[in-house]
Amino acid sequence: MLAARRFRLGKQKMLDFLHELREPGGEGVSLYLPPGLGLGETRKWLAETLDLQGMPSQLSDFAVASKQGAVIFWGPSRKCLIAPPFPVEEKRFCRNYDIEGLRSMLTHDYKVALILIRLGAYAIGVYQGQRLVGSKVGTGLVHARHKQGGSSQARFARHREKQIEYFMTRVCGHVRDQIGPHLQTLDYVTYGGARTTILLLRKQCDFLGQFDSRTLPPLLDMPEPRKAVLDTAIDRVWASSVIEWHDNENLP
């Protein structure tokens, strides 16, 4: 019976993890699954390429759930599924622990724009690899919701809506200023902050629509946007999620 252990690894620790798969005795198979594969297709391919005896029944569900696709390494010594930070580009099967596709992804200097936003505060960063090459941080006046009822509440709500609209327009302008010079070289855009605020910005800022096909999953539990957060948030953008299976008696 296999037991699962979940964890996240930053860029360097993920590279170290992959290096361990190449140690003596690291025999197995590798599957690269791009995003967008349906559950039926994924299950069929797993059945054709892996020995399903003793395999966790949720393996295909975990692979499909990853927005970036998944990489599976499966053998006597190591059994794991990795959800990488960037999309898997092609469907591939290898009769060994083929780490090169994932290693190549993690050593490529992708250019990424990160937009952190909450009502009243924003932070925009452009990174080459993990190096911040441009940023803009600021605030804007957006009053908290009015607690009292009556006509005054309705007036306050309309006033607040105008504040939010003005704030989003300003943020959109700053996004253009920061990202515009990198349009030809930008690989991905990602967002952080409150989900509803992110959706509101994307809806109001037409400029961002051109990146919909290059948008990474959002970071929804980010603290208040500020420069210090920009300096560290990129590490989370580059982190991989790992599920590793062990025999119960060998589980660390």
pLDDT value at position 76? 81
pLDDT value at position 24? 55
Question: What is the topology classification, in CATH, of domain 2-108?
Answer: 3.30.960
H/E stretch holding 165: helix 151-179
Residues of the chain with pLDDT under 50: 251-252
pLDDT value at position 222? 85
**Please, are residues 228 and 234 in contact by the beta-carbon 8 Å criterion?**
no
Distances (CA, A) of 203 to 64, 113, 212: 27, 18, 11
Domains of the chain: which residue ranges? 2-108, 111-237
| Domain 111-237 = CATH 3.30.70.1020 | no
Dist CA 179 CA 236 (whole Å): 20
For the stretch 33-64, pLDDT in tens is 999 999 999 988 888 887 766 678 788 999 99
> Which three-class secondary structure string do you get for 196-239?
HHHHHHHHHCHHHHHHHHHECCCECCCCCCCHHHHHHHHHHHCC
For the stretch 209-234, pLDDT in tens is 999 999 999 998 888 899 999 999 99
166: CB partners within 8 A, 6+ apart: 140
Tokens of 201: 């910005």
